[in-house]
Amino acid sequence: MNKYDLQKNELLKIDINKANHKVELGSLVFTNGGNYFISIGLGKIEIENEPVYCISLISPIGKILQNKKPGEKINFQGKEIIILKIF
């Protein structure tokens, strides 16, 4: 299986109808340091003229964000990041 098949399989695991209350696969995470879609590592995209970073849970920041909830703080690359909302 090539890397594109693996990425496709990971995307197929996302339930877009699920309400997320913690950071997990499929979450859209709004922070004071940027917005993240927890999916596969595609990098920066634009949604309604707002930057959103598509990251995986195995990325450095994805590992730190995993299972966090709104209001929690993380420290990434020397910066404090506050999780504002999760969808």
Residue range(s) defining the domain that contains residue 78: 3-86
- What pLDDT is attached to residue 31? 98
Q: Is the pLDDT of residue 69 over 90?
A: yes
Q: Is the pLDDT of residue 74 over 80?
A: yes
Q: Which residue has the higher pLDDT, 16 or 66?
A: 66
3-class SS string, the chain: CCHHHHHHHHHHCCCCCCCCCCCCCCCEEEECCEEEEECCCCEEEEECCEEEEEECCCCHHHHHHCCCCCCCEEEECCEEEEEEEEC
Report how many domains make up the chain: 1
As a whole number, mean pLDDT of residues 25-45 equals 96
Q: Is the pLDDT of residue 51 over 80?
A: yes
Instruction: Name the band, by pLDDT with cuts 50, 70 and 90, for residue 8.
Output: confident
What's the CATH code of the domain at 29? Answer: 3.10.50.30
Q: Is the pTM of this model over 0.95?
A: no
